[in-house]
Amino acid sequence: MDNGSKTDIQEKIAEIVQMQGRYVEVLQSVGRLMEQNQESAMCLDVLGQVSEFLAYVYEVKKQYYGRPLDWAEEYAFALVKDSYKDIAGEQFAAVSKRLRECANYIQKSREELEEILQVGTYNADLGKMQFKEGANPQEFANRDEMVQAIEENSMNPLEQFFFCGKHNKMTKWCHYFEVYHRHFKRFRNKPVTILEIGVWGGGSLQMWKDYFGAECKIIGIDIMEECRNYEEERIKIYIGSQEDREFLRKVKDENPNIDIIIDDGGHTMNQQIATFEELYPHLAEDGVYLCEDLMTSYWQKYGGGYKKPGTFIEYSKNFIDALNARYSLSPDLKIDRLTASIRSVHYYDSMIVLEKGVHKPAMVL
């Protein structure tokens, strides 16, 4: 599949959206039949078609949209695979449930693609970055054209490093850089310690080193032993699980002063909660705690689900109550260490930022 033109991708996405609507209806109908132990042959035929269709969507997104396998397609693929096993085992009730779940994921993907058609495929959230004069997002044929059309002078230092600098591998959502700069810029060119969980290709650690300046110290945590290769001057790598509280305590013991904590690790609910509970109290009095990729709080694969107890999103909603605990008349909401230390809570798309500081009782003058 070649890059094609802007018209090509609009036509392909419009075609996908139309086909998705049909597959949603078919999967729901076959799901009802399978609930009555009927039409296994038809079900197998539909599953084969769905598999081919999902593979087609995969290729379109890979070539044009920049995300080769989106979460909705990933779950749909898994459900199709499990449905084959259930049919072989004559677990027809399970098949019925999976087909309807698969329809739900395809519908969610459809809603996303409908939005893309409406606002423009490459009209993404770029924060405060601007396109060069004369550039039109509606005419970009691929993601590379979009990046090349960004006005370099509109980039903050993090964006300039990411798009224009030389560094190891890293991947970020475009709107993250604006959030980083908003909350981190007051620490630049100061003797600060930055801890990031999730090293991967090592590029983000280099970005922090460049951004915060010559006096900063960077700490990286990852579970993969090969990440030690990304150690360099002023960058220290620890190998261990962020879910291992004893390991985190060792990191704290060896690093008594941490000013910024960035959780970009495994993104499971247990990992995010354990990391916050162990590391937030260790954060400097005026430090910043940032947890990203909170979309996993809605994904089953990571232990998430909409309003599911125990997700990091649901857990973090308690921060709002803690911040305002002084005003509650309920005995169930007490002033605690979070009340005394959280200055502010900021929610962004897939991110939360807590700014720490001495939080004294308010006064009316």
pLDDT (tens, 9 = 90+) of the chain, 365 residues, equals: 344 566 777 888 999 999 999 999 999 999 999 988 767 899 999 999 999 999 999 888 887 776 666 788 889 999 999 999 999 999 999 999 999 999 999 999 999 899 888 887 777 888 899 999 999 887 887 788 888 999 999 999 999 999 999 999 998 999 999 999 999 999 999 999 999 999 999 999 999 999 999 999 999 999 999 999 999 999 999 999 999 999 999 999 999 999 999 999 999 999 999 999 999 999 999 999 999 999 999 998 899 999 999 999 999 999 999 999 999 999 999 999 999 999 999 999 999 999 999 999 988 89
Q: Where are the domains of the chain?
A: 6-119, 155-356
C-alpha 275 chain-centroid distance: 17
Contact of 24 with 103, CB cutoff 8 Å: yes
Domains 6-119 and 155-356 share a fold: no
H or E element that contains 195: strand 193-197
Query: What is the reported pLDDT for 3?
Result: 47
Query: What is the reported pLDDT for 69?
Result: 66
First-residue to last-residue Cα distance in the chain: 67
Name the superfamily (CATH) of residues 6-119.
Answer: IL-4 antagonist (De novo design) like domain (1.20.120.660)
Distance CA 297, CA 321 (A): 19
Residue in this structure with the two tokens 């006064």, named with its chain if needed: 363
DSSP state of 248: H
DSSP state of 138: G
CB burial readout 296-334, b (16+ within 10 A) else e: bbbbeebbbbeeeeebbbbbbeebeebbebeeeeeeebe
Distance CA 269, CA 315 (A): 9
Query: What is the reported pLDDT for 4?
Result: 52
Distance CA 253, CA 331 (A): 36
Distance CA 93, CA 86 (A): 9
SS3 content of the chain, % helix, strand, coil (to 5): 55, 15, 30
What is the CATH architecture of 155-356? 3-Layer(aba) Sandwich (3.40)
Distance CA 267, CA 293 (A): 7
- Choice among 183, 267, 282, 359 that is catalytic: 267
The helix/strand/coil state of 163 is: helix
pTM of the model: 0.88
Distance CA 339, CA 358 (A): 9
> Treating both helix axes as pointing N-terminal to C-terminal, what angle do 6-35 and 40-60 enclose, rounded to 10 degrees?
160
Instruction: Give the Cβ contact number of residue 286 at 10 Å.
Output: 13
267 is catalytic: yes
Side chain identity at 348, as an amino acid letter? Y
Quote the tokens at residue 277.
Answer: 């509970």
Handedness of CA 133, 137, 140, 146 (dihedral sign): positive
